[in-house]
Structure 1
């Protein structure tokens, strides 16, 4: 994850968004391949955690999304993870998958923006941290809100005897609303609401079902 996150951050760092210009994660970071400097890491596929090139890059996407969120930029395209991951802000996160799921936002302010991105890698004594900042003239004051969880869902138990099985605890699914309030000079200009829908994650047991 350190390698993938550091590589993605290095590709984003220094990006300039002029007024009216759109940022695309896929366009800026490129395909997550060995040739582009990425390695295998954990990803979610079909509701299960597996290894694939670029694993961990969604943490960069989530941090970039939050920087754009609080800068008041237009949310053109973002998709929360299919399963809720507690390390991310509830409902306010983004996954990416080359060619199918992108993160896009537009600089709708009258000022240019410089995007700074960097990673402090994890090691045996500390957790790593991901940083993304939008450098510009401040245009909006942004307040975020989140609703109570609702529409709770539970998965089933899967028994997997394959050699590549990875055990997995059940993950509860639910819906949650995220609001973004735009203010200028202390007055509310507009409010946006988006709903994150998290599916239930099945429990995976590596072995045969009980007799």
Structure 2
């Protein structure tokens, strides 16, 4: 058994060699360097080092990407309405790396290869945030009891998840996709929920108040409601027929931006109030087109 395990380990090392990452002396960030011996390991087997194994090379780029990747961060509005600057991200420049690697592979005089990177720009920068936060298209407020600590906590978490979300023209917003699964690991707590018309307790209770407040805020001419479901019994925080129930393995709340400009969702929780505002530019219009 031990011999078999050792054989499998050696096989994996030969077939999928790990890159010998090192840090450059002239870079403060993680700069990946490939040494000559490492480059030569990506030759196609049984060819005498004449050809490159493209499968191994692609695997190498994937591993490097996992190491160097830094996601960009959009500009956003803080709780006081002030703009926080965007941050660029970084990843491997796969096209440039592929060219440089092939050149190094066939040139014995190249002793090491510095992996090239490229900047990833965020979708929303300061200038865009300034523009899309000028005009209020719609808003809605619901209230809840702050004394129900667990439910209030869940509302705050879900509101934070949708806050500052920017939906570009033609894009679709899914509440479940944006907020994600409501689990204890993510900080959600047990609170009252409606299940099949009955009041019970479940993880993430209170989330439907966030989705219902959002529904009423985005119920605009320039927003198409794609998917919405009502609770099986009346809820106290919105008028009858104005709710939007959601659950991870069940109903979702989905809508589409039909405006000619991006829309910004502002979701805030203050003093027992759930507040949602839909913002955009001064030139935001809904073009219905020919009927």
Q: Deviations over 1:131-177 (max 9, x none)?
A: 1111113536xxxxxxxxxxxxxxxxxxxxxxxxxxxxxxxxxxxxx
1:36 Cα deviation (Å)?
Answer: 1.5
Three-state SS of the structure 2 residue aligned to 1:8 is helix
| RMSD between aligned residues | 2.0
Match of 2:189 in 1: 39
Distance in structure 2 (CA, Å) of the matches to 1:35 and 1:118: 23
Gaps of 5+ in 2: 1-150
CA 18–68 in structure 1, closer or farther in 2 if over 3 Å, else same:
same
Structure (1/2) with the larger strand percentage: 1
Q: Deviations over 1:85-131 (max 9, x none)?
A: 2431221110101121100000011110111101114xxxxxx1101
1:18 Cα deviation (Å)?
Answer: 0.3
TM-score (norm 2): 0.45
Is contact 2:165–2:264 with CA below 8 Å preserved after alignment? yes
Match of 2:199 in 1: 49
Match of 1:9 in 2: 159
Match of 1:139 in 2: 285
Distance in structure 1 (CA, Å) of the matches to 2:212 and 2:285: 22
Structure (1/2) with the larger helix percentage: 2
TM-score (norm 1): 0.61
Of structures 1 and 2, the one with the larger relative CO (CA 8 A, separation 6+) is 1
The count of residues paired between Structure 1 and Structure 2 equals 138
Q: Deviations over 1:9-46 (max 9, x none)?
A: 00100100000010000011001101112100110112
CA 59–106 in structure 1, closer or farther in 2 if over 3 Å, else same:
same
Gaps of 5+ in 1: 122-127, 141-181, 184-188, 191-211
Distance in structure 1 (CA, Å) of the matches to 2:196 and 2:212: 20
1:71 Cα deviation (Å)?
Answer: 5.8
Distance in structure 1 (CA, Å) of the matches to 2:230 and 2:245: 6
Distance in structure 1 (CA, Å) of the matches to 2:160 and 2:221: 21
CA 139–93 in structure 1, closer or farther in 2 if over 3 Å, else same:
farther
Three-state SS of the structure 2 residue aligned to 1:69 is coil
Return structure 1 stretches of 4+ with deviation > 4 angstroms.
none
Three-state SS of the structure 2 residue aligned to 1:105 is strand
Match of 1:62 in 2: 212
Is contact 2:209–2:237 with CA below 8 Å preserved after alignment? no
Distance in structure 2 (CA, Å) of the matches to 1:58 and 1:95: 5
